[in-house]
Chains A and B, each alone.
Chain A
Amino acid sequence: MSVTVNIPLDSLGIKWERLWEETGNGGYVPEGELLASYNDVIREIKKVCRPAFCYEIIECEGVCDGKLTVGGITLNPGKRIAGYLEKAEKIAVYVGTAGTGFEDYCRELNRSGDVIRAFFADTAGSVIAEAVSSHAFRHISDKEQESGDRTSFPYSPGHCEWPVSDQKFIFALLPDTPCGIRLTDSGLMIPVKSVSGIVGIGKNIERKPFGCAICTFEGCYKKHVKDERHPVD
C-alpha cells in the first residue's frame, strides 16, 4: 500500500539565503540587481512549488552479489550498497518531487530566455529535491522506529555503482506516476527536480556510509562543498 505525503515548502527547512553553499557556489552572495532577481524567483517558487513524496514498504526477498530482490523485481545497486542492505527485512522505495508547478515555472523561465532567473530557479530546484529526499527519509525512519525497526541510510540509482537505468525498476514498485512523476525511456524523471531511492528496514540493519561518502563521481560539484549534509546527523 503506497503512501503519498504532501509537504509544505516552508517545512523543508531550506535556508534560502545560504542556498549557494549547498550547490558548490560557496562564497557567492547575490547583490543589487541579481539579489532582486533572486528574491523574485524565490517568491515565485513559494507560490508554485508543491513538494511531495510517495513511498511503499515491501518485503526484501534477498540480497546477493550486488543485487537486491524486492516485490519480485531485482534491483542492481552494486555490491557496496547491496552489502549495506544485507540485513534488510523490508525495503522502503520512495520518490519525491518539487512538483509540476515548479517544473512549469522553470520551463517558462527557460522559454523566456531569462537565463539568470532560470539558473536561480534551477539551483533552488536542486536544493528542494534534495530536501524532499531528506524529508522522505526522515519520515520513513521515524515511522519504522515507532514500530521498533531500524533503517539504513537512503540510496538512489545514479549514485555509487547503481545505474540510472534502474529507475524503471524503482517505478515498477510504485503506483503509476507517483506524485505526478513520470519516467522517460532514458530514466529521466519528469518533473526534472525529482528524486528516488530506497531505505533498508530491519531489526539488525546498521547505518553505513551514503551519499558523497561513497560516490565515485570526481566531477561532482559536491566534491567542493565542505559542509556535506547528512539528513540525520
Chain B
Amino acid sequence: MANLEGLYEAILNGKLEQAVEVTNAAIAEGIDPQTIINGYMVKGMEEIGARFEAGKAFVPNLLMSARAMKGALDILKPLLKAENATSAGTIVIGTVKGDLHDIGKNLVASMLEGCGFEVINLGVDVSGEKFVEAAKEHNADIICMSALLTTTMNYMKEVVSAVEAAGIRDKVKIMVGGAPLNNDFAMAIGADGYSSNANDAVAMARRLLSA
C-alpha cells in the first residue's frame, strides 16, 4: 500500500526519488490524483514554505522541495488532464531589458513550477515586446518581472505600458521582484503585486489569481 504520509515527508524533505516512488505506487493503487496532490503534496510544500518564512528552512531546502514536487506532479499531470483538471495558472517570467541577473528569477520560476504553475521562462534582458508576445502566445495569467539594478528596474514601467498598449492588461496580472524593489515601487508603476522572495512569490501568484 502506498505510503502517502511518506509522500508528504518526501516533498517536505526534498526527496525526489522517494516522491516519485510513492506517487507511482499511489497511482498503481488507483488513488485519485487530486487527493494525492491536495492531501499530501501541497501540504508538504505549505510546510516547507512556513518553515522558510519562520527562518527554519533556507532557499536550497525550498528548491529541493520544489524539485520533488515537480517530479511527482509531472507523473500526475497527464492523469489530471484526463479529468479536465487545469494547472494553477500560466506565468511568463523574465529579467527585464538591460539586466542579466538570472538566479533570483530562476529560483522564483522553480518554486512556481513546483507549486503547479505552468512557467514560461523568457530568460534575461527581456523587452516589453517579448513579454507581451509570450503572454499572448501562452495565454498567460501572470507576467512576472525581475530586476536587480536601480538602472533597470524602471524598465518595468515600460513593460506595464506595453501590456496596456497591447490591450491585454485586463487579462494578465503583473508581479515584480528584485533586490532594489519594494511594494511602493510596484504600485507606482502599475503592477499588481510585489514579492521579496521565491516563497512569497508563490503566495502572491495564488492571491492574484484568486482575486
Contacts and interface: CB of A to CB of B under 8 A. Distances in A.
- Whether both chains belong to one complex is answered with yes
Interface centre among B63, B99, B109 (most CB of A within 10 A): B63
A33 B100 CA distance: 29
Interface residues of A, number: 30
Contact of A115 (B14, B100, B107): B107
A35 B114 CA distance: 22
Interface centre among A119, A190, A192 (most CB of B within 10 A): A119
Contact of A186 (B149, B179, B181): B149
B17 to A, nearest CB: 10
The number of chain B residues touching the other chain, given as a range, is: 20 to 34
A76 to B, nearest CB: 13
A110 interface: yes
Contacts of B59: 25, 119
B98 A184 contact: yes
B54 to A, nearest CB: 11
A196 B119 CA distance: 35
Interface string A86-129: 00000000000000000000110010000110111010000000
Interface string B107-148: 101100000000000000000000000000000000000000
A186 B98 contact: yes
B103 A110 contact: yes
Nearest to A191: B100
B60 A120 contact: yes
B52 to A, nearest CB: 11
Contacts of B58: 20, 25, 27-28
A116 B103 contact: no
Contact of B150 (A28, A110, A115, A163): A163
A28 B106 contact: no
Given A28-B58, A188-B149, A217-B180, A116 B63 contact: yes
A219 B98 contact: no
B63 A115 contact: yes
B75 to A, nearest CB: 18
Given A110-B103, A188-B99, A188-B100, A164 B150 contact: yes
A185 B109 CA distance: 27
A192 B101 contact: yes
B55 A27 contact: yes
A28 B60 CA distance: 9
Interface string A118-151: 1110100000000000000000000000000000
A16 to B, nearest CB: 15
A115 B149 contact: no
Contacts of B179: 217, 219-220
B24 interface: no
Nearest to B147: A186
Interface centre among A25, A115, A188 (most CB of B within 10 A): A115
A158 B63 CA distance: 29
10 contacts: A34-B64, A110-B102, A110-B103, A116-B64, A120-B60, A163-B151, A187-B149, A219-B179, A219-B196, A220-B179
Given A107-B102, A164-B149, A164-B151, 20 more contacts: A25-B59, A27-B55, A28-B58, A28-B60, A33-B14, A34-B61, A115-B106, A115-B109, A116-B63, A118-B106, A119-B59, A120-B60, A158-B149, A163-B151, A165-B151, A188-B149, A190-B100, A192-B101, A219-B180, A220-B179
Interface of A: 20, 25, 27-28, 30, 33-34, 106-107, 110, 115-116, 118-120, 122, 158, 163-165, 184-188, 190, 192, 217, 219-220
Interface of B: 14, 55, 58-61, 63-64, 67, 98-103, 106-107, 109-110, 149-152, 179-182, 196
* In the complex, the 4 A-B pairs of residues with the closest C-beta atoms, listed nearest first: A186-B98, A28-B58, A122-B103, A186-B151
